[in-house]
Chains A and B, each alone.
Chain A
């Protein structure tokens, strides 16, 4: 365990080396969030109603601000990294180390995620005063604890999902197209474009049980007190079950993939 924690620290240090990159990346990654928020403000204003689908304007803005914070815990880079490693032949180096590559990538990108979270959080502290009157602020302690558990769960589920996709490179050589398409679907199904309860009632239940819901929809709803702690806890069990399913799948694909691996170059 210590080796993974140390690599976590190493990557955190390395990412602090580039200040300009940090600031620019922060602005760019938030443009789409800001546009979405302005978009909804305009809709509410022009509609003249206080509520759309049960969401007040405050709910809607809170939902997107929180999503922008929670999405930093979606670990997709591990998947992209493994697909690059397979394609370039770099995987060979990693294979002969006495460690689990999946764990190694998890901790490496978790350190990135934590860094991203802190950046995003400080960005929101700067921007939020402009939206403060729109935001809701009533988080109970049990909900807060559950939100944190969800975010941790989200890091594991997203990491395993993306690894699974990245490992397609064992067979496809070029898995990036599939991965980018998946990114779009994932954003949609995790409620980052539109809250999931905008969909038909029957499908909301199904979507909540899908692994993507843990990424931002459920924690955001918990934060907004629109999902009870009991219900959140019940859904959490399903998402923890997903972790085991994904781990088993990862194990299978990894075995088959490394058997086929041909370690190109050098």
Chain B
């Protein structure tokens, strides 16, 4: 059963183009130039119940704009959106009670009060029955390991702890769809791991549909079933995580470690340099040439101390697709 249907969705913003300098600024007061920026163009997608989907793309690719249209914050310029059979922009109360939108860079919880006070407010706002409220708070606080922090003024908590509170705040009314915009932004590894684990476990338990945007590829790789890649407002890839890993399978990553400094450019004839640091070089090479390249390297470089070969990591594949702007 599909819970989100998006058809030819577009959104363009009208932006006032400001000129440099005092005189031009004064001129601008009378004669403004406007440019139209296409934030999302002709996006079509369907998301099924219980899926965890990652929305990926560079800054300004249209990820957040898409989420805002799905939740009814923004009116689309053209196209059609239905979420749980509602038109989001009508902002019907029944609809709003079924969705949650967590923004990693914006706090929902009152800073001056303990989180539990905000949760009680949320309970009233979303009319959560007492029984369910207690059960959900217990379960969520347990899963995120913050039970002992519920009664502490929010400003005294760390960034990671605060984010966990934001998650509880959004999940406590058992929404059917949760939109997460950069949920792990600025968090330490420990908190990132905890949040990823939480999202996976929660979905298993409740079959909630989750849509995530993140710049941390690990977030996406470890939590999502499926990814949608956006570039300059258009969709360039839509498929399972395993499908992404299958792309560029003709390529491998060769890691070489030397015992003295080298000039990395001498090796660019073998393949593309992905990384060079502390005498360790990572090259993307074609799988078929692996044998011949390695033989040649061993013969010609006496200072080569280690060779290893791995598959192309998820983030490099995504990066490659972004750079090319399409899936080759």
Contact = CB atoms under 8 A, between A and B. Distances in A.
Interface in A251-266: 258-259, 261-263, 266
B103 interface: yes
Contacts, number: 60
Contacts of A14: 110, 112-113
Contact of A92 (B13, B73, B117): B73
A97 B181 CA distance: 17
Contacts of B262: none
A10 B113 contact: yes
B68 interface: yes
Interface residues of B, number: 30
B121 A6 contact: yes
B47 interface: no
Contacts of B105: 266
A10 B73 contact: no
Interface in A1-40: 2-3, 6-7, 10, 13-14, 17
Contacts of A262: 13, 74
Contact of A98 (B13, B112, B126): B126
A44 B97 CA distance: 62
A2 B105 CA distance: 29
B40 to A, nearest CB: 13
A92 B124 contact: no
A99 B108 contact: no
Nearest to B107: A93
A13 to B, nearest CB: 7
B74 A266 contact: no
A6 B120 contact: yes
Contacts of B72: 95-96
Given A95-B91, A98-B93, A266-B105, A13 B113 contact: yes
Contacts of B112: 14, 17
B298 to A, nearest CB: 51
A262 B113 CA distance: 31
Contacts of A259: 75
B96 A98 contact: yes
Contacts of B96: 96-98
Nearest to A13: B113
B10 interface: no
B283 to A, nearest CB: 38
Given A2-B124, A6-B124, A266-B106, A96 B117 contact: no
B73 A263 contact: yes
Interface of A: 2-3, 6-7, 10, 13-14, 17, 90, 92-93, 95-99, 258-259, 261-263, 266
Q: Report whether over half of chain A's contact residues are helix, strand or loop; otherwise say mixed.
A: helix
B103 A266 contact: yes
B26 interface: no
Contacts of B106: 90, 93, 266
B125 A97 contact: yes
Contacts of A266: 64, 103, 105-106, 181-182
Given A2-B124, A7-B121, A14-B110, 16 more contacts: A6-B120, A6-B124, A13-B117, A92-B68, A93-B106, A95-B73, A96-B73, A96-B99, A96-B101, A98-B96, A261-B73, A261-B74, A263-B74, A266-B103, A266-B105, A266-B106
B71 interface: yes
Given A10-B117, A17-B112, A96 B75 contact: no
Interface in B62-76: 64, 68, 71-75
A96 B64 CA distance: 15
A81 to B, nearest CB: 14
Contacts of B103: 93, 266
A115 to B, nearest CB: 14
Contacts of A6: 120-121, 124
A260 to B, nearest CB: 8
B28 to A, nearest CB: 14
Nearest to B64: A266
A98 B73 CA distance: 13
B147 to A, nearest CB: 22
A90 B99 CA distance: 18
19 contacts: A2-B124, A3-B125, A6-B120, A7-B121, A14-B110, A17-B112, A90-B106, A93-B103, A93-B108, A96-B72, A96-B99, A96-B101, A97-B96, A98-B96, A262-B74, A263-B73, A263-B74, A266-B105, A266-B106
A1 to B, nearest CB: 10
A99 B92 CA distance: 10
A104 to B, nearest CB: 9
A92 B71 CA distance: 9
A96 B113 contact: no
Contacts of A10: 110, 113, 117-118, 121
Contacts of B93: 98
A266 B63 CA distance: 10
A14 B118 CA distance: 12
A115 B254 CA distance: 68
A263 B120 CA distance: 28
Nearest to B92: A98
A14 B117 CA distance: 11
